[in-house]
Chains A and B, each alone.
Chain A
Amino acid sequence: MNPTNWNRDPKNSVGKPRRRVDARARVTGQVRFADDLSLPRMLHCRLVRSHVPHAKILGIDASKALARKGVKLVLTGEHFPIAYGVLPVSHDEHPLCNDKVRFVGDPVAAVIATTEEEAIDAANDVVVHYESLTTIATPQEALATPEPRIHTYGDSGNVHKKVHFEFGDVDASFAGAAHVFDDTFFYEGNTHLPIEEHASLAIQDPEGKLCIWSSTQTPHYLHKALAKALAMDPAHIRVIATPNGGGFGGKSDPFNHEIVVAKAALMLGRPVKICLTRLEVFYCHRGRHPIEMRMRTATDKDGNVLALDLQTLLDGGSYGSYGVASTFYSGALQTVTYTIPRYRFRGCRAFTNKPPCGPKRGHGTPQPRFAQEVQLDRIAVKLGKNPAALRLQQLAQPGSLTANFMRIGTIGLGACIDKVVEGSRFRERWGKLPFGRGLGLACSSYLCGAGLAINWAELPHSGVQLRLDRSGEVTAFCGATEIGQGSDDVLANIVAEILGIPPFDVRVVTGDTGLTPVDLGSYSSRVTLMMGNAAIQAAERARDLIAKSAGEKLGVPASRLVFANKRVFDAQDPNVGMTWLEALHRAESDHGTLGTVGSYRPAAPAAKYKGGGVGPSPTYSYSAAVIETQVDPDTGWIHVEHVWVAHDIGRSLNPTLVEGQVIGSVYMGLGEALMEEQVFRRLPPRLSNALVHKIPSILEYKSLTSKDMPDVTTYLIEDPDSAGPFGAKEVGQGPLLPMMPALANSVFDAVGVRVDEIPVTPEKVIRALEAKSKRYGPDEFPTVDWPEPLKVAPPWEGGDGTAQNEKPRKSKIAKDGTRIVTP
């Protein structure tokens, strides 16, 4: 089903730096983002959100709001009895809260009025009566407070999910180790902060069906959620993902406001729009989970890792979101960077009365990556090795299976390390700079799409449909969503490359469930690889049709024909050929109206144990970075002087965009490393029950400005991977991952203290400098009552990817084709 015929040596547009196909719209203000849309008779929606963190709803009095002249409708939880959610295992949200509220910001009612001003005022008139419940602010509190439960489902009390895996006899490795390293870390939560605030516009279309435009990264999941929550036939719902003004994972969940305006539009028969305020965007969140971590590593005398033992405790916030996947991700990718012979991972996600956490760039993996890379730095220092050498001596092997059965493709990490080490003169300068100046190195790896889909259906993850018009224009349809990363350009580029036409001759239609074949969405760095492979298949099918007709006419075997420069010609004699248009017309007259499809589904993962579905990917990208800092010992101030970053991209389809993704990742990673944090404020409990977002504004949620951004030197390592289109891997997320540990390691090199907590702030540096231990970070990992481990023997110990002690699982195929597996 998947194209195997990938091209190692692209001849046309692939690989050349170029303006993206949608650039013109972007620089002329003509991209229509969701809030730019407006329709006649459009109404405006405003949500009434809970101002208490945890309470039963006793009653809602909307009479005053309804008495206002401009108010057309007030919706409450009663209108939405059906729950939804992005993961099948946690359908725990209602478009408007039904019985209780779970965080300050949880929506309880919606006001629809003729103007936004009127809706705002009317929303303030809605009175909600609550009966407060105990507030749970942290995962530690959640573990200690099983009652009241925030949700009635989950592993127990306020624990949402607990997992425990053991790949080989880890304790035996520790017992025989030359060195054991044992450290605790904390990574504070942070959020996406796209500059565009989420917006949606819903209509009852002329046929009476539902159509919604929304700033979503996942129109397909929104489609599913709408069908479920509104109990509608999905064939009567059309979701159009408007270009996202930044997503970063924050627009990947189906959101309550989307379902609310859909319902309102259907009830009123008029367009209904909502645009969230920045405060509400902070409430939507779904960002980085705060995670407490304990990382134990056993090594031999040379620092080679013998076994890794990781525990994570995730603060999930108030709903499931992608949280079960996040929990698995907080352990799944520890093994794909370096050779780890044995591995134990224990992860726990707790519910708290805060906005739900979910996927942000790097989804669940930056936190344990930080722990691992900082600990490797410690190992290097302890054993008197250069941190680059320590890593190079134990890189994971290309084409291998890891202890937890992740199948690795190509690995460009060695080359990445070499580049940044050379560029920064790391070998010569690390450990030798004057006090106050430092260099830090870190590496990482990331998915190129998830091996298993959220809904376990045996269906393609991405589909592309091509329409070849007599004019010469090719239209490519795909459900993928443009969130700024350049996926429309990837699609046009690949189709153009194969058909030998300019990318600007390809019209791209994406993210519209009414027109485009399903693509699961813009997350998990899956689009380039999955949509790209589907596009290759569709384009090659078109090329083959055309080649057949052209070849017959030219008397040249179809296999010898080259498609380039809007011509189709004989590879052996370029003068023998015809124009693209001529070839197209021949093919249309031979085969009838021209159109092809292509689709992609990753190969079945090697990991067959329960939970092994999170982590497998068609291949992994790799990155390495060196950060140079100056740290002021008087104030702890950290100044980033320069960043060198190398990324194993497999192949750059459009280097201009790839470089942009790398630098953008560096930017966001540095923000996380230094200042970005989504933190909450609890008022003195004797005076108030309140638990609020401390700083829900762009001003106080600190992100780097143009003057705070250091210069970045970028290296792209191209070692094509057969799993990717033209060998390409992902780039949107991977290069963010090394920033946080590289920064912390650089601070250590500068002033000799460890800050084992993200963000690394001047206050923490000072506290570490003043501490006897020369360290700042959590002292211990909380006690968690872990379940029995699932035991899986690593491949080199005879394992076959199944767990030795797993109960057999039942699986059934649901109506919509979803495979549901239950233990």
Chain B
Amino acid sequence: MTDDTPRTTVRMTVNGEDVETTFGTHKTLLEVLREELGLTGTKHGCELGECGACAVEVDGKPILSCLLMAAECDGAKVETVEGLMDDARLHPLQEAFADLGAAQCGYCTPGFLMTAKSLLDANPKATRAEVKEALSGCLCRCTGYQQIFDAVLSAADKMGRA
């Protein structure tokens, strides 16, 4: 990046807090979260939309931060894994992922968590097939997915009962 690289300023809400940030216009939301805002919980594995590691929630929907130009996010409401806890309490999805072995290396985990959160917010009674479908934009090379499905369903169950 040089001095004449075009820059853009956006205001957005990230994990419930208003932020204003200026960055090279070529950056995607992924780069802005990690490099400008220091939110490195959001991961990257391809930067081309092919792995799902960078999934975050924007305006209530799971999207890929590596494909979204950050300039497009002016006014957006962004949720990342850093905002998933309720103060010091783990989200039920986080509890379930931890207890049931759904995070092995943990690199894909933030993307899965944010995707699962969006799913359960919209569809608290999601079936196993719906969970599979909703998570089908995230790749995991460690778990074989089974324990991830189990964790999402178990969290859904707990959240339904709470």
Contact = CB atoms under 8 A, between A and B. Distances in A.
B109 A27 contact: yes
Interface in B125-162: 132-133, 135-136, 138-149
Nearest to B141: A246
30 contacts: A26-B98, A26-B103, A27-B113, A29-B41, A29-B82, A36-B34, A69-B2, A70-B1, A193-B141, A194-B105, A195-B51, A196-B45, A243-B105, A243-B106, A245-B43, A245-B108, A246-B105, A278-B46, A484-B104, A484-B106, A656-B147, A664-B104, A664-B143, A667-B143, A699-B46, A699-B49, A705-B136, A706-B148, A706-B149, A709-B145
Nearest to A29: B41
A136 to B, nearest CB: 30
A70 B100 CA distance: 47
Contacts of A545: none
B50 A484 contact: no
Q: Which label, helix, strand, loop or mixed, suits the secondary structure of the B interface?
A: loop
Interface size class of B (residues with CB under 8 A): 35 or more
B99 interface: yes
A451 to B, nearest CB: 27
B81 interface: yes
Given A660-B147, A699-B50, A70 B105 contact: no
Interface in A586-623: none
Given A27-B90, A196-B43, A484-B104, A706 B113 contact: no
A23 B96 CA distance: 10
A197 B110 CA distance: 16
Interface string A469-500: 00000000000000111100000000000000
Interface of B: 1-3, 5, 24, 26, 34, 38, 40-51, 53, 80-82, 84-85, 90, 93-94, 97-101, 103-110, 113, 132-133, 135-136, 138-149
Given A28-B41, A36-B40, A197-B44, A23 B51 contact: no
Nearest to A658: B101
Interface in A483-532: 483-486
A706 B145 contact: yes
B70 to A, nearest CB: 14
Contacts of A202: none
Contacts of A36: 34, 40
A2 B101 CA distance: 31
Given A195-B51, A668-B141, A706-B136, A28 B105 contact: no
A358 B38 CA distance: 36
Interface in A653-712: 656-657, 659-660, 663-668, 697-699, 703, 705-707, 709, 711-712
Contacts of B98: 19-20, 23-24, 26-27
Contacts of B140: 195, 706
A664 B144 contact: yes
A228 to B, nearest CB: 29
B2 to A, nearest CB: 6
B155 to A, nearest CB: 11
A30 interface: yes
Contacts of B50: 697-699
Contacts of B43: 33, 195-196, 245
Interface in A49-106: 69-70
A243 B43 CA distance: 14
Interface residues of A, number: 59
A31 interface: yes
Q: Which of A19, A247, A665 has the most chain B CB atoms inside 10 A of its CB?
A: A19
Contact of A663 (B34, B132, B146): B146
A273 B133 CA distance: 37
Given A70-B2, A698-B45, A483 B105 contact: yes
A244 interface: yes
B106 A660 contact: no
A117 interface: yes
Contacts of B107: 33, 194-196, 245-246, 484
Contacts of B53: 195
Interface string A33-48: 1011010000000000
A264 B45 CA distance: 25
A134 interface: no
A449 B42 CA distance: 34
A101 B133 CA distance: 45
A25 interface: yes
A248 interface: yes
Given A33-B43, A278-B46, A486 B104 contact: yes
Nearest to A248: B141
A32 B110 CA distance: 13
Nearest to B93: A27
Contacts of B90: 24, 27-28
A20 B101 contact: yes
Contacts of A19: 98-99
A697 B48 contact: yes
A118 B45 contact: no
Contacts of A393: none
Q: Which 3 A-B pairs have the closest CB atoms?
A: A29-B41, A484-B105, A245-B107
Nearest to B34: A36
A196 to B, nearest CB: 5
A20 B41 CA distance: 19
A657 B2 CA distance: 48
Nearest to B131: A706
